[in-house]
C-alpha cells in the first residue's frame, strides 16, 4: 500500500504543515498559563498569519496585550473577542471596560455599561460589579475632565480662596502651578494645613510646596490623624515605597481578575492622593489583604472586617472630595 502524503497548505510564501495551527495554539496557551505574556503575543501573532480566523486568537491577544500594557492593541482584540465568543461575553466585556479605563475612554465605559443595564442582559450575580465599575468610572471622568481654565490676574488672599467653590479652588491651584508656586508659599501653606478644606485640595497645595522646594515643617491632619512633614522631602502621592508594594501585591493576587484589580488599584491611588502625606499606618501586606477584602465586599457583598484599617479604607474611598465639582 502506498503511503498517502498529507497535503501541505501555503499562505503567501509560508508553507503550513499539518498540525502547525494546533501546535502554535498549544504553545500560546502554555505561555499564558506560565504568565509569559510577551511569548504568548509572539506565538499568537505567528498563528494570526496562518490562521487569522481561529476563534481563540482575539481572547489570547486581548489578555496578553493588557498584561504587557499595550492597551491600544488590547482594546482592538478585546472588541473582536466580544464578537467572536458569546460564551465568554461578560469575561471579555470586563476586560474591555478595564482597558477603556486605562486609556481614559471614560465616556465609552459609561455608554457601554448604561446600554448593558438598559437592555437588562447583565446576569444577576454580575450586576453589582458593573454598577460599581460605572460609579468608579464616573469618579475618574470627573477627575480628568477639564473644560474651564481660570486665569489669575493678581494674587489672591486665603480668605478669598475660601470663598471659591471647590472646582474653582482646584483651577486656581492649577494656575498657580503653571505660573510658578514660589511666590505663593504663604497661601499654599495656609491651604495645606486648613482642616476644613477638602483633603484633595490640601494635597494639591502640599504637592505644589513640595515641587517648589519648601523646607519649613508643616503639621498635616487628615481623617483623625496627624503628621509633621517638610514638603521638599516628601515623595509624590503614590510614589512612596509602601504604596508601590501594596500595588505589586495586589497585582500578584488579582492578576486573573482585571476588573477587580482595576478597582482596587484605583482605590489605593485614591487613598494615596486624598490622605497624602499620611499612609495607612499598617504594613503593606496587611493593607493589600484589606483591599482584597474590600473588593469582595463591593463585588460580592461579602462581610467586611470591622478593623480600624478597613474602616479607614472605606472612609477615604467614599470621601466625595476627590472629584471637585
- By the 10 Å C-beta count (0-12 exposed, 13-18 middle, 19+ buried), 210 is classed as buried
Which pairs with CB-CB distance under 8 Å and at least 24 residues apart come from 201-207?
Answer: 201/166, 201/169, 201/170, 201/173, 201/321, 201/324, 203/237, 203/273, 203/274, 203/276, 204/170, 204/173, 204/174, 205/173, 206/231, 206/234, 206/276, 206/277, 207/236, 207/237, 207/276
Identify whether the C-beta of residue 37 lies closer than 8 Å to the C-beta of residue 64: yes
Give SS3 for 324.
coil
What residues form DSSP beta bridges with 220?
Answer: 227
Q: Taking a C-beta distance cutoff of 8 angstroms, is the pair 154, 179 a contact?
A: no
H-helix or E-strand spanning residue 221 = strand 218-222
CB 316 within 8 A of CB 223: yes
**Distance separating alpha carbons of residues 311 and 299, to the nearest angstrom:** 17
Angle between helices 20-33 and 57-67 (to 10 degrees): 30
* Tens-digit pLDDT profile for residues 182-210: 668 999 999 999 999 999 999 999 999 99
Give the pLDDT confidence of 17-30 residue by residue, as tens digits: 456 778 888 888 88
All three cell numbers of 106 = 471614560
CATH topology of domain 241-322: Cyclin A; domain 1 (1.10.472)
- Every domain of the chain and the residues it spans: 11-144, 158-230, 241-322
| Dihedrals phi, psi of 250, to nearest 5 degrees | -65, -35
- Tell me the backbone φ, ψ of residue 219, rounded to 5 degrees: -105, 120
**Which CATH superfamily hosts domain 11-144?**
Tetratricopeptide repeat domain (1.25.40.10)
Residue stretches of the chain with pLDDT short of 50: 1-17, 146-154, 322-325
- Report the pLDDT value the prediction gives residue 321, as an integer from 0 to 100: 54
Spatial CA neighbour of 321 closest among 163, 206, 170 = 170
Amino acid at each position: 500500500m502506498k503511503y498517502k502524503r498529507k497535503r501541505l497548505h501555503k499562505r503567501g510564501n509560508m508553507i503550513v504543515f499539518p498540525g502547525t495551527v494546533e501546535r502554535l495554539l498549544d504553545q500560546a496557551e502554555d505561555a499564558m498559563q506560565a504568565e509569559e505574556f510577551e511569548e504568548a503575543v509572539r506565538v499568537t501573532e505567528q498563528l494570526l498569519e496562518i490562521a487569522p480566523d481561529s476563534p481563540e486568537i482575539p481572547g489570547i491577544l486581548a489578555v496578553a496585550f493588557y498584561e504587557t500594557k499595550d492597551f491600544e492593541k488590547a482594546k482592538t482584540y478585546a472588541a473582536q473577542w466580544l464578537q467572536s465568543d458569546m460564551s465568554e461575553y461578560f469575561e471579555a466585556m470586563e476586560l474591555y471596560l478595564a482597558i477603556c479605563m486605562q486609556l481614559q475612554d471614560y465616556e465609552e465605559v459609561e455608554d457601554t455599561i448604561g446600554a448593558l443595564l438598559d437592555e437588562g442582559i447583565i446576569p444577576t450575580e454580575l450586576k453589582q460589579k458593573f454598577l460599581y465599575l460605572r460609579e468608579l468610572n464616573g469618579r475618574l471622568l470627573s477627575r480628568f475632565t477639564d473644560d474651564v481654565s481660570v486665569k489669575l490676574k493678581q494674587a489672591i488672599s486665603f480668605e478669598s480662596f475660601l470663598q471659591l467653590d471647590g472646582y474653582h479652588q482646584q483651577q486656581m491651584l492649577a494656575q498657580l502651578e503653571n505660573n510658578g508656586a514660589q511666590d505663593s508659599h504663604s497661601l499654599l501653606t495656609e491651604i495645606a494645613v486648613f482642616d476644613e478644606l477638602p483633603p484633595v485640595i490640601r494635597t494639591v497645595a502640599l504637592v505644589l510646596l513640595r515641587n517648589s522646594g519648601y523646607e519649613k515643617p508643616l503639621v498635616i491632619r487628615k481623617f483623625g490623624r496627624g503628621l509633621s512633614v517638610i514638603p521638599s522631602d516628601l515623595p509624590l502621592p503614590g510614589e512612596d515605597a509602601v504604596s508601590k508594594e501594596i500595588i505589586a501585591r495586589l497585582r500578584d493576587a488579582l492578576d486573573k481578575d482585571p476588573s477587580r484589580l482595576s478597582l482596587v488599584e484605583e482605590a489605593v491611588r485614591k487613598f494615596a492622593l486624598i490622605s497624602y502625606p499620611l499612609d495607612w499606618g499598617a504594613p503593606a501586606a496587611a493593607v493589600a489583604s484589606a483591599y482584597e477584602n474590600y473588593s469582595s465586599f463591593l463585588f460580592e457583598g461579602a462581610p467586611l472586617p470591622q478593623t480600624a484599617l478597613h474602616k479607614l479604607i472605606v472612609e477615604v474611598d467614599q470621601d466625595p472630595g476627590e472629584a471637585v465639582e
